[in-house]
Each structure stands twice: as structure tokens, then as C-alpha cells.
Structure 1
Amino acid sequence: MPFTPIHLGPGLVFKAIGGRRFSFMVFGGAQVLMDIEPLVGILRGWDVLHGYTHTVPGALVIGTIAGIIGRPISEFALRLLRIAHPPFTWASSFAGAYVGTFSHVALDAVMHADMTPFWPLLAGNPWLSAVSIETLHLICFAAGGLGLALVGGQALARRANGTPPR
């Protein structure tokens, strides 16, 4: 299924580590952009759903697009929702975008046989079934729980110290 929310779990860990240097919003947007090709493939009945976009070069292109459009879209959404936030930088936008697209390729490579993640350098998918799909999902859910706990703990500590959000 395209647009799987379990990809967001590892993103929360990156947010906890990167703070304001990592945009979780752009990370999430990059996940959606990555799965436009599989969605179109499902609707059109393609045999290969995870084609060029699910390769390292595809992740680079989509990450660049996500980084460029992610900052203004995220700033607009935060302003529209009246959510206070620290200054949004291009570096945080591109960090979220590239971590989003490259992690997407890595996670999907473990579970989708129609992928060739290292195209054009390597045929096939050497990561296929590196772990079971159940284990992969468990890792993503555990990362989400860890990331949520870390981000929440950091927010509580900042509130207690009176420091601004990261």
C-alpha cells in the first residue's frame, strides 16, 4: 500500500537527534512523493510498481524536489495553523527530504521484489528479505515509539527550563 505511515517511525528518531536541523514535515512529504509512482502503477495495473523512483538516483531527484518545495509549504502550513516554530532553514528542509527519500528506498527494498534500489550500478535487489516484513514493521514501530518518547522528553525538558522549541 502506498503512503505507508510506518515509514514515519524512523523519522521521529531523526527528528529527536536533529532537532531544528531536521524537518519532520518535509520528511513526511518526501515519503508521500516517493509513493506517487506506486500509486499510479496500482491504478494503471503496472507489473512493476517500484521503478525509477525507488532507486538511489530516484531518491536523489525526489529528495531535491521535496527539499525545494518542502520549506515554503511547511512554513505556510505552520503559519496557517498558527503553530509557533523556530526559523525554518533550507538545511533542515533538505535534511528531512533526503533522509526521507533514502530511508524510504532502504525500507522498501527489504520488502518489495520489484525494486532495483542500486540501479544503474547493480541489477536486482540485494536487500530483499534481509529481515521479515513483520520484523521490519516492528523495527519501524519501535523507532516511532522511541522517537516519540525522545521528542516528547525533550519538549518537557525545554518547557521545564523555559527554553524555546527546537
Structure 2
Amino acid sequence: MPFTPFHLGPALLLSYLIPYLDVWTFLIANVIVDFEPFLVLSFNLDLKYGYPVHGFFHTYIGGGIVALILAHAMAFIYKITGRNYDMERLRITALSGVFLHITLDSIMHPDVKPFFPFGFSPLYGATYEFNIYMFCAFSFLAWLILKFFIRSSIEGWE
């Protein structure tokens, strides 16, 4: 899903339901690997060199590298801003977010080969693309309801 905000729906919902996850790291992790399709399409790397739109960084190995770099970048940001952080929590959060992104994309896009170096995608076509979009949209809707309606009504009872 290059250039779409759809990954943010599941990211917001899961970070709300699983308080262990660092919200900012998880949100960024769910969209950061789309720098690859952005660069490929911006520089016509797919047409000029045959580089797939979803290449190495849309694999669990490549995504894992991105996630660990993100975790350390977030630790650096938190350190210079004086915010407390747990490095293990940042790593787990970043890996979870990136892997969620890759998993969703591997269901939708035939060029995503998540199990590199193996050139297959057992998840591709597991469901219709429309279902993935609806899952992402309904995740966002569920987060909105939980965050702003149910939470505020519960707080009103306290």
C-alpha cells in the first residue's frame, strides 16, 4: 500500500489495545518501509533497473533491519528530548509494526516476497484486497470509537 494512510488504522488500534507498545514508534514503524516504493516510483527504478516496487525492505529480513534502525533512532530522539524509554520495548514495538506492514502488504501485492531469500509469498491472495482495505479502515474506526467515545464515557463514570 504505497503512499496510503491505511496502515495507520491497525497501528492506532493495536497501540491503543496493547499499552506495552510505544505509540510513536509503532505508528512510524507501520509506514516507514513505504520509503522503498516511494523511491522506486519516484526514480523509476522499476522501469530502469527492474527493481520491484516492494523489494528488499518489504521482506522480514530487510524490514527487521529498518525496524532496528528505527528503534535506535527513537531512543536517540527520546534521549535528547529527555523522555524515558526502554530499548527492548522500542525494538519489539518497531519490529511488530514493520512486520505488520509487511504482512498486510504481502497479502495484497504479488511482488512482496516476505521470506527472502525464498522467492515466494504464501500469503499473497489469502483474501481479497478489498478486505485488507476494509480491515484497515474499520481498525481506524474502532480506534476512534474506543479513544473518543467509549473512553470518554467511561471517564465520565469515575
TM-score by length of 1: 0.77
Give the SS at the match of 2:122.
Answer: coil
Letter aligned with residue 6 of structure 2: I
For these two proteins, the number of residue pairs brought into alignment is 152
CA contact (8 A) 1:26 1:74 kept: no
Aligned counterpart, 1:106 = 103
How has the CA–CA distance of structure 1 residues 9 and 131 changed in structure 2, closer, same or farther, with 3 Å as cutoff? same
Please, which of 147, 157, 163 is the counterpart of residue 143 of structure 2?
147
CA contact (8 A) 1:30 1:97 kept: yes
The range that moved more, 39-48 or 64-73, is 64-73
The 2-side partners of 1:157 and 1:75 are apart by 34
2:63 paired with 1:55? no
Aligned counterpart, 1:164 = none
- Structure 1's unaligned 5+ residue stretches are 80-85, 162-166
The 1-side partners of 2:111 and 2:134 are apart by 22
Q: CA deviation at 1:109?
A: 0.5
CA contact (8 A) 2:8 2:31 kept: no
CA contact (8 A) 2:15 2:26 kept: no
CA contact (8 A) 1:12 1:151 kept: no
The 2-side partners of 1:159 and 1:143 are apart by 24
Aligned counterpart, 2:129 = 133
RMSD of equivalent CA atoms: 2.6
Q: CA deviation at 1:108?
A: 0.5
Structure with bigger RCO (C-alpha 8 Å, 6+ apart) = 1
The 1-side partners of 2:100 and 2:121 are apart by 15
Letter aligned with residue 5 of structure 1: P
Give the SS at the match of 2:119.
Answer: coil
Give the SS at the match of 1:5.
Answer: coil
Give the SS at the match of 1:137.
Answer: helix
Q: CA deviation at 1:134?
A: 1.0
